[in-house]
Amino acid sequence: MQLISCPWCGPREEAEYHYGGQAHVAYPHDVGAMSDADWADYLFFRDNPRGPFAERWVHAAGCRRWFNAVRDTGTHEVLAVYRIGEPQPELGTQASR
Amino acid sequence: MTRLTTGGLIDRTTVLSFSFDGRPYAGHPGDTLASALLANGVHRVATSVNRGRPRGIMAAGVEEASALVQLEAPFPEPMLSATTIELYEGLVARGLPGRGKLADRPDPARYDAIHAHCDVLVVGAGPAGLMAALTAARAGSRVVLVDEQPMVGGSLLGTRGELSDWTATVLAELTSTPEVLVLSRTTAFGYYDDGFVLALQKRTDHLGAAAPDNAARQRIWRLRAKQVILATGAHERPVVFADNDRPGVMLAQAGRTYLNRYGVLAGNRILVFTTNDSAYVAAVELAEAGAEVTVVDPRTDLAPFWAAECARVGIAVRPGHMVTGTTGEERVTGVHLAAYPSGGASATVHCDLLLVSGGWNPTVHLFSQARGKLEYDAELGAFLPVAGLPGAGVVGVRVTGAAAGTVSLAGCLAGGAAEAVAALRDLGVAAQPVAPPPVGTDRVERAGLVLWTVPVEISLDGSDLSDTRFVDLQRDATVGDVLRAAGAGLRSVEHVKRYTTIGTAHDQGKTSGLIASGIMADALGVDMAALGTTTYRPPYASVSFAALAGRDRGAIFDPVRVTAIHSWHIEHGAQFEDVGQWKRPLCYPRRTAFGGLEDLPAAVARETRAARTGVAMLDASTLGKINVQGVDAGEFLDRIYTNIISTLKPGFVRYAVMCGMDGMILDDGTVMRVSDTEFVLTTTTGNAAKVLDWLEEFAQTEWPDLRVHLTSVTEQWATIPVVGPLSRQVIAAVAPALDVSNEAFGFMTWRSAEIAGIEARICRISFSGELAYEVNVPSWYGIAVWQAVFDAGQPYGITPYGTETMHVLRAEKGYPIIGQDTDGTVTPQDLGMSWVVSKKKLDFVGKRSFSRAENLRPDRKHLVGLLPVDRSVLLAEGAQVIADPDVSQLPVVMLGHVTSSYRSVALGGTFGLALVRSGRDRIGERLFAWQDGEVVPVMVTGPVLYDEEGARRDG
Ligand SMILES: [Zn+2]
């Protein structure tokens, strides 16, 4: 059972969290002017990298707050967590946790 | 009797009676079932699963893959190893023919789970583990030490009391150190991420019927450690030869353990077949205990020390020889010997016990589960852990002692202390290794011969079904099976494991895994290191489902939610249905004139008639309710719902629909405005948590600038719709201060009023099309207000109704249930509810998707009504709707499916709702429902089948 650090509560077991998909996908401006293809791209398409990936998580069985996390999708290691509205931290070669 | 008069860790002053296969026996405290059976001369214990061969006891511990038994008393428990059952008074067991039998009654014992956190977790209380735990304890760290045995010592327990004073001293120091927890009878069976280890503690199994009722029989420890030290020892592995499965064929260390720990001499004429020096000590000790011992060793260069020892105690040694087979049925009677490796000069030697040693497999299960890398050591013939875990996790997992391939006792003692110092250093703690106790010169100084099987003809042409060279005894899997796997083209040990099932039972690869790999490598002519070994997976040892379930059984397996009025429903004979976790009355069957109970259709007919012609009441407290507060609450709800909410005035209620970004309906309900800054939403019963999560996600992530707060109030309110043309009189009676006239209290408004002295919120909303008042009161008063309404309704024949009637009423009106009449691919427009989608709002969740080309197609599925031509035929929910009754031509074109179907008193027959392709353009058409192998003709109608003009809602 992996430990994930909630930016509000600290390290808690992964079962307390729910996954919320890719982070920093901004809601488009003026959606009425968008083509169907562009809207569909926003709606259905997300990145799927191997390696560090910024994601939304929610501490569902804890403080119920959403936050962002950078997770290595190859190792599941959570490299950084940060609150909504904070910029994605720069990750050096040494992972911060 | 084979029990010696002295020696061992058993209490001879106490006699325990037990029975096995129906016969009475006696043993002593300290015995296992296996040692007690051997003490009584019982070698045959079980029968193999596929081949029906007699099976005995091959080991003295958890690696036993042969002596499988069923406990019958005090409670039936199948598939246990006789070597892991501590003997207790009154034990009743029988040997198994490969399969056990589950109890026919619920297990009365209690099981539970507990969490613990520590700096250092040490798994295994042998020499290395004790040194590690002691070093960490003296450094002041929080230490948990777990060990599967009832007493500490590990491999020392199988010796003649070696270091027994020291282990007692260490245990005393550990147990008196406040931050140290020593858990005996506790098997760490799984390593999960970040230092999380699950362990099973057998707390009262060994007490039998004397186990106290108030103590959990077994407990799962959920251990979270910053550093893990695995001192899990090693399992001896056999060498495979023909008929190696006979009772009386045993691992060498097991024979030694039965002698030294249990005082049992398991044979009088013992043959020891070993490829390494470690079995010589067993041979010597057994000879000194009075057995006639012969050692067969394929090597020709005997260690001088052991050659001298054997000569001293009168052991005949046959160097350069091997065992090629055995004789005997219920117990081994003899051994076929031949020269190694030629196979020549064969001879048969009599014996009643054959001890085998092919070397040692370090117990690296937990390390492998932690994704630790293993590397093959050709000299030891074993996979050893490579220090350090991939992925640079924060939790250190270290392996020490025999598990790390250390052979000597002195090495294990020093290694345990050193690994603890290293683990503590990673925690920022400077520690000194504790001084090891003095030990004698180690006499196992060199690696043995790596031999998986005695030489065999390598043939990949398929297995000989008479093959008796067993690799996994429990699975009846042989050398031939491995060769057949190779012959079938399998090249990965993972595939061979699944093809042969080797290592998939109790064994979990402890004795069989490496041998299977070795045979594969030899057969394919590849390097063992390249072939690798199978990945170890939890659990390391068998764990019962009862232990894993713990307290989460019966009523608390999944929480059951009941409303504040539940007890009234029970008292009034409600029949319940499960809606999510909720118990809801389905209907309230009455006694019939003949003394029986109404069936569901009869009850529903009566209840619907009351709602349409008189007055009826429903417990709708399960509706999800969300309180939304904040100055931006209106703006927030405008963005969430498809229609405008912010224009709603306090005192008014609006029906509203919310969609996903893709435009598909998520949920619907009512929105009540309490004040400028407060709303209460309702959600579908089963969707309440999901909707709250959905709203929270938007509030926190997309629009954190909006000042809005969300709280679930589902449990805080009891909700009682009072429904029917006579509902006004009933509400007037219970709320005398309230003007219930249509002019003063119009449809889709709400008022505060006292009912039976309780402040209530009463809404003029209707889910039936009838005049209705929905009464909301705090849950504490739910049952009092329900009773008050029920009493006041008596003159009008008020009838409580359940969910089935609620469904009939709403379906007659064409009101969809989200999740029943929709399935995540349905837009508001598909339901014919364009009116609920605002054209004025600039944007809201899902708006852009409504104009996607796909969502504008004229042939989308629409919600329509279906009237069977024969109005006595009930449509099957889920039945496919088709246009052509000739279903012989495949494929049949599917137009949609029936989503709801009921019998209706008001409509004079059956009816249904359906999602049908271009459904609104087919109104008046004759289509067909395909159900139970028949086509049922139906007429397509609009979804509203009753009171289409809405004349009834105001009474
Ligand atoms: Zn939190």
CA distances from B408 to B198, B414, B444 (A): 29, 10, 7
pLDDT attached to residue B760: 98
Residue B458 has what pLDDT?
58
Q: Does a structural domain hold residue A46? A: yes
| For range A36-65, the mean pLDDT | 96
Per-residue pLDDT, A94: 43
Dist CA B529 CA B517 (whole Å): 10
Is residue A52 in some structural domain?
Answer: yes
Distance in Å, CA B729 to ligand 1 centroid: 51
Read off the tokens for B142.
């929080």
Residue A41 CA to ligand 1 centre (angstroms): 32
Query: How do residues B166-176 score in pLDDT, each as one tens digit?
Result: 999 999 999 99
Three-class SS state of B761 = strand
- For residue A7, what is the domain's CATH number? 3.30.2270.10
CB-based contact (8 Å) between A26 and chain B? no
* Domain membership flag for residue A59: yes
Residue partners of B530: CB distance under 8 A and separation at least 6: none
Cβ-based neighbour number of residue A21 at 10 Å: 9
Interatomic CA distance for residues B914 and B868, integer angstroms:
12
Q: State both tokens at B292.
A: 């006639």
B698: its two tokens: 């938007």
Eight-class DSSP state of B559: P
A97 at interface of B, judged by CB pairs closer than 8 A: yes
Give the distance from residue B751's alpha carbon to the nearest chain A alpha carbon, in angstroms.
33
Q: Do A2 and B697 touch (CB under 8 A)?
A: no
B711 in contact with A at a CB cutoff of 8 Å?
no
- Structure tokens that stand for B399 in this block: 């392996």
Looking at residues B413-430, what average pLDDT do you find?
Answer: 96
Judge contact between B849 and B663, C-beta under 8 A. Answer: yes
CB atoms within 10 A of CB B867: 18
Q: At what angle do helices B164-176 and B127-138 cross, to 10 degrees?
A: 40
Task: Kindly report, residue by residue over B335-374, the tens digit of the pLDDT.
Answer: 999 999 998 878 999 999 999 999 999 999 999 999 888 9
CA dihedral B38, B44, B46, B48 (to 10 degrees): 140
Residue B899 has pLDDT above 50, yes or no: yes
Amino acid at B42: V
B742 or B462: which leads in pLDDT: B742
Looking up tokens 């271009």 gives: B918
ipTM above 0.85, yes or no: yes
pLDDT of B131 > 80? The answer is yes
In a domain, A72, yes or no: yes
Interchain contact B196–A (C-beta under 8 A):
yes
Segment B687-705, tens digit of pLDDT: 999 999 999 999 999 999 9
CA distances from B917 to B316, B492, B858 (A): 89, 51, 9
Confidence band, pLDDT 50/70/90 cuts, at residue B516: very high
Tens digits of residue pLDDT in B86-119: 999 999 999 999 889 999 998 999 999 999 999 9
Q: Does the pLDDT value for residue B330 go beyond 50?
A: yes
Partners of B848 on chain A (C-beta within 8 Å) are 31-32, 34, 39
Structure tokens at B32: 């296992």
Tens digits of residue pLDDT in B637-650: 999 999 999 999 99
What share of chain B in percent tops pLDDT 90? 89
Is residue A91 a part of any domain in this protein?
Answer: no
Extended beta strands in B170-254, E state = 180-183, 186-192, 196-202, 218-230, 234-236, 249-251
Which chain B residues are Cβ-neighbours of A64 within 8 angstroms? Answer: 696
pLDDT of residue B556: 85
CA gap B2, B333 in Å, rounded: 17
What's the average model confidence in pLDDT over B651-675?
Answer: 97
Residues B602-622 pLDDT 10s: 999 999 999 999 999 999 999
Give the sheet arrangement for strand B347-350, strand by strand: B321-328, B332-339, B347-350
Q: Hey, are the CB atoms on A58 and B697 less than 8 Å from each other?
A: yes
Residue A23 falls within a domain, yes or no?
yes
Question: Tell me, what amino acid is at B800?
Answer: P
pLDDT number for residue A93? 46
The CA A68 to ligand 1 mean position distance, Å, reads: 12
- From residue B54, alpha-carbon distances to B46, B279, B592 in Å are 6, 26, 64
Nearest CA in chain B to A56: B701
A60 touches chain B (CB under 8 A): yes
In this structure, how many other beta carbons lie within 10 angstroms of the beta carbon of residue B228? Answer: 26
Of the pLDDT bands very low, low, confident and very high (cuts 50, 70, 90), residue B523 is confident
The residue-averaged pLDDT of B792-798 equals 98
Q: With 80 as the cut, is the pLDDT of residue B334 above it?
A: yes
Section B324-337 average pLDDT: 95
Which of B399, B407, B356, B410 has the alpha carbon at shortest distance from B379?
Answer: B407
Of B192, B196, B700, the CB nearest to A65: B700
pLDDT tens-place string over residues B748-776 = 999 999 999 999 999 999 999 999 999 99
Residue B677: per-residue pLDDT: 98
> What does the H/E/C string look like for B431-466?
CCCCCCCCCCCCCCCCCCCCCCECCCCCCCCCCCCC
Collapsing DSSP to helix, strand or coil, B232 comes out as: coil
Average pLDDT over every residue of B190-205: 95
For residue B82, give the 3-state DSSP assignment: helix
Whether the CB-CB separation of B823 and B831 falls below 8 Å is answered with no
Which value, to the nearest 10 degrees, does the dihedral of the CA atoms of residues B57, B59, B63, B65 take? -20
Q: What share of chain A is helix, strand, coil (3-state, %, to 5)?
A: 15, 35, 50
Q: Mean pLDDT in chain B?
A: 95
Cα dihedral A16/A20/A23/A24 (nearest 10): -120
Cβ neighbors of B198 (< 8 A, separation 6 or more) are B188, B189, B190, B192, B220, B221, B222, B223, B538, B539
Per-residue pLDDT at B388:
63
Find how far residue B365's CA is from the centre of its chain.
Answer: 20
Dist. CA B55–CA B43, nearest whole Å: 8
CB contact burial B155-193 (16+ within 10 A = b; e otherwise)? bbbbbeebbeebbeebbebbeebeebbbbbbbbbbbbbb
Residue spans of alpha helices (H) in B148-276: 164-176, 252-260
Distance A65 CA to ligand 1 centre (A): 6
CB pairs under 8 A between A and B: 57
Specify if A21 maps to a domain. Answer: yes
Residue of A nearest to B689 (CA): A60
Contact B696 A39 (CB under 8 A): no
Task: With cut-offs at 50, 70 and 90, classify the pLDDT of residue B889.
Answer: confident
Assign B393 a pLDDT band (cuts: 50, 70, 90). Answer: very low
Q: How far apart are CA B430 and CA A91, in angstroms?
A: 31
CA torsion angle B471 B477 B482 B488 (round to 10): 180
Average the pLDDT over B807-828 and give the result. Answer: 97
- Which of B56, B48, B83 has its CA nearest to residue B510? B83
Q: Within a 13 Å sphere around the CA of B222, how many CA atoms are in the beta-carbon half?
A: 11
Mutate to test the interface with B, among A14, A22, A24, A27 (most CBs of B within 10 A): A27
In terms of phi and psi (left: phi > 0; alpha: psi -120 to 50; beta: otherwise), the region of B86 is beta
pLDDT, tens digit, 9 for 90 and up, residues B702-721: 999 999 999 999 999 999 99
Find chain A residues with C-beta within 8 A of B394's C-beta: 97
What pLDDT score was predicted for residue B187? 98
- Closest-CA residue in chain B for A75? B391
Residue B460 has pLDDT above 60, yes or no: no
Q: Which residues of B touch A95 (CB under 8 A)?
A: 392
| Beta-carbon separation of B194 and A1 below 8 A | yes
Cα B191 from Cα B114, distance rounded (Å): 16
- A23 CA to centre of ligand 1 in angstroms: 18
pLDDT band of residue A95 (cuts 50, 70, 90) is very low
Distance of CA B717 to the CA centre of its chain: 35
Residue B74: pLDDT band by 50, 70, 90 thresholds? confident
Our count of domains for chain A comes to 1
Give the one of A39, A58, A84 whose C-beta lies nearest to B704's C-beta: A84
pLDDT for the residue B395: 67
| Residue B147 exposure: Cα atoms within 13 Å on the Cβ side | 23
Contact B208, B193 (CB under 8 A): no
Instruction: Provide the residue range defining the domain that includes A51.
Output: 3-27+39-83
Q: Report whether pLDDT(B625) > 90.
A: yes
Q: What is the DSSP letter of B749?
A: B
Rg of chain A over CA atoms, in angstroms?
15
Pairing mode, strands B292-297 and B316-319: parallel
A61 interface with B at CB cutoff 8 Å = no
Q: Sort residue B69 into left (φ over 0), alpha (ψ -120 to 50) or beta.
A: beta
Candidates B803, B813, B825; CA nearest to B915 is: B825
Residue B457 has pLDDT above 80, yes or no: no
Check pLDDT > 60 for residue B426.
Answer: yes
**pLDDT of amino acid B389:** 59
Distances in whole angstroms, Cα of residue B939 to Cα of each of B147, B844, B920: 72, 37, 12
Q: Which residues of A touch B389 (CB under 8 A)?
A: none
The first and second tokens of residue B65, run together, are: 């893959």
User: Is residue A93 included in any domain, yes or no?
Assistant: no
Q: Which of A31, A39, A97 lies nearest to residue B843, judging by beta carbons?
A: A31
Q: In whole angstroms, give the CA distance from residue B904 to residue B810.
A: 11
Quote the ligand 1 centre to B142 CA distance (angstroms): 26
Q: What is the pLDDT averaged over residues B545-557?
A: 91
- Outline where DSSP puts E strands in B660-771: 665-675, 678-683, 709-712, 717-723, 750-755, 758-763
Rounded distance from Cα A10 to ligand 1 centre (Å): 7
Q: Tell me: the pLDDT tens digits for B938-955? A: 999 999 999 999 999 998
Residue B24 Cα to ligand 1 middle (Å): 60
Ligand 1 center from residue A61 Cα (angstroms): 8
Residue B567, Cβ neighbours under 10 Å: how many? 11
- What integer is the mean pLDDT of B156-161? 96
Is the pTM value of this prediction over 0.80? yes
